[in-house]
């Protein structure tokens, strides 16, 4: 349904999107996940037709809608897609009904059919009671529902979401995630959702593309990214809590981690070792497999305890079955397992 072929976008000498290729089937929920400035919003704007690619193609349902190599694109209004902005972008002088009705009117739908469709989507998003109110008379969460209703009213084949929940409080974000997933199932549209929040990505997506510096570090089902991170960046960006990465330098038959000798056998002279948070322990005494660190955070999550320790630029997080005896600010000894869950090159690519 949706395919990107060597898609690129440059602004002067800066490359925002660097030859991205991927494809998802009809009805997929694709999440573009990455930190601020990684290129994910630029990707979305090219999908929407708001930016012209400088290279590569975008294909919707077998039809090329943008071709950067030929500097040609289909008009945004003719792409059978709808975009939900982060800022809602509602018409302040129109009622809720008027905002949802407007794209249908522009499309030339007859008045009676428009009324029926507007009533349908307002009911679908549980905002029928707000039909005669203006945007400044409703809450931010309600405004977001109106923006979504306006987008789905013309029944687009592709729904595009630009961090639509970032302006909502934590409780409302959770509720709206559920609503968006229900809406996706109800419409059957292919969705592309931009976020920096990996919890949103892991809970909502059928496919995730982790974007960094304009490139896709890894693409696949959410669980694959957690179970088998392809790069050190993915390992530390995906997961709750994320994985721990420790630099390793080979030394004789052993190795040094963070300046201390450790009983591990690295696959290269210099590399990175990945340890999952639930494999780390806090020891009351120093040992051959421990790193001395300062306990800087301690919290209870779902009946377990998450402890974070810091030493210089190394930050490690452990998930523990019981609360440690140490308090925040204490010196602790973080015990590492003898076999890392994965090895990466210093540049980030996975070795084992």
> Of 180, 203, 232, which one is at a domain's C-terminal end?
232
Q: Is residue 350 domain-resident?
A: no
| 15-38 mean pLDDT | 97
Tokens linked to 289: 């497999």
Cα–Cα distance between 221 and 3 in angstroms, integer? 16
- The reply to whether 191 and 79 lie within a common domain is yes
When divided into structural domains, the chain yields a total of: 2
| Per-residue confidence (pLDDT) for residue 304, from 0 to 100 | 96
- The reply to whether 93 and 152 lie within a common domain is yes
> Of 191, 213, 232, which one is at a domain's C-terminal end?
232
- The reply to whether 167 and 92 lie within a common domain is yes
Q: Are 16 and 42 in contact (CB under 8 A)?
A: yes
284: confidence class by pLDDT, cuts 50, 70, 90: confident
Q: How far is CA 1 from CA 22, 99, 211, in A?
A: 11, 29, 21
Helix (H, G, I), strand (E, B) or coil at 154: coil
- The reply to whether 16 and 138 lie within a common domain is yes
Is the confidence at residue 280, as pLDDT, over 90? Answer: yes
Q: Is residue 326 domain-resident?
A: yes
Q: Are 188 and 196 in contact (CB under 8 A)?
A: no
Task: State pLDDT tens for residues 316-335.
Answer: 999 999 999 999 999 999 99
- The reply to whether 150 and 193 lie within a common domain is yes
Q: Is residue 352 domain-resident?
A: no
Longest dimension (CA), the chain: 81
- The reply to whether 217 and 258 lie within a common domain is no
Cα–Cα distance between 177 and 167 in angstroms, integer? 13
Q: What is the pTM of this model?
A: 0.93
What's the CATH number where 223 sits?
Answer: 3.40.50.300
Cα–Cα distance between 82 and 76 in angstroms, integer? 9
> Of 176, 197, 232, which one is at a domain's C-terminal end?
232
Task: State pLDDT tens for residues 86-138.
Answer: 888 899 999 999 999 999 999 999 999 999 999 999 999 999 999 999 999 99
Determine if the peptide bond prior to 267 is cis (ω within 30°): no
- The reply to whether 214 and 308 lie within a common domain is no
Residue 231 neighbours by CB under 8 Å, 6+ apart: 217, 218, 344, 348, 349, 350
- The reply to whether 63 and 201 lie within a common domain is yes
Q: Is residue 18 domain-resident?
A: yes
Q: Is residue 101 domain-resident?
A: yes
- Containing structural domain, residue 166: 2-232
- The reply to whether 126 and 186 lie within a common domain is yes
- The reply to whether 263 and 207 lie within a common domain is no
């Amino acid at each position: 349904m949706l395919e990107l072929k060597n898609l690129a976008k440059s602004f002067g000498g800066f490359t925002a999107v660097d030859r991205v290729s991927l494809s998802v089937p009809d009805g997929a929920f694709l999440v573009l996940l990455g930190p601020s400035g990684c290129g994910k919003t630029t990707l979305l704007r090219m999908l929407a037709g708001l930016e012209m690619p400088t290279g590569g193609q975008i294909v919707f349902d077998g039809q090329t809608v943008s071709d950067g190599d030929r500097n040609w694109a289909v008009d945004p209004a003719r792409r059978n897609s709808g975009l939900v902005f982060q800022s809602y972008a509602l018409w302040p002088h129109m009622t809720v009904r008027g905002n949802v009705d407007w794209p249908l009117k522009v499309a030339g739908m007859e008045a009676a059919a428009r009324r029926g469709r507007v009533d349908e989507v307002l009911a679908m998003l549980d905002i029928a009671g707000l039909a005669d109110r203006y945007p400044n008379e409703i809450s931010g969460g309600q405004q977001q529902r109106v923006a979504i209703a306006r987008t789905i009213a013309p029944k687009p084949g592709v729904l595009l979401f630009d961090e639509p929940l970032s302006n909502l409080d934590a409780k409302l974000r959770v509720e709206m995630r559920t609503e968006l997933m229900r809406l996706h199932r109800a419409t059957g549209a292919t969705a592309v959702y931009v976020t920096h929040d990996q919890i949103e990505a892991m809970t909502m997506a059928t496919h995730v593309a982790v974007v960094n510096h304009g490139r896709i570090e890894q693409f696949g089902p959410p669980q694959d990214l957690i179970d088998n991170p392809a790069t050190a960046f993915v390992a530390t960006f995906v997961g709750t809590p994320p994985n721990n990465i420790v630099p390793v330098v080979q030394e004789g038959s052993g190795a040094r981690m963070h300046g201390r000798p450790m009983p591990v056998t690295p696959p290269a002279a210099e590399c990175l070792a990945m340890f999952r948070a639930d494999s780390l322990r806090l020891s009351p005494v120093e040992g051959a497999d421990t790193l001395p660190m300062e306990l800087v955070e301690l919290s209870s999550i779902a009946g377990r305890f998450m402890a974070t320790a810091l030493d210089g630029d190394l930050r490690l997080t452990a998930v523990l079955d019981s609360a440690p005896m140490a308090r925040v600010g204490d010196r602790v000894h973080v015990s590492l397992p003898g076999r890392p869950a994965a090895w990466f090159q210093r540049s980030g690519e996975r070795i084992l």
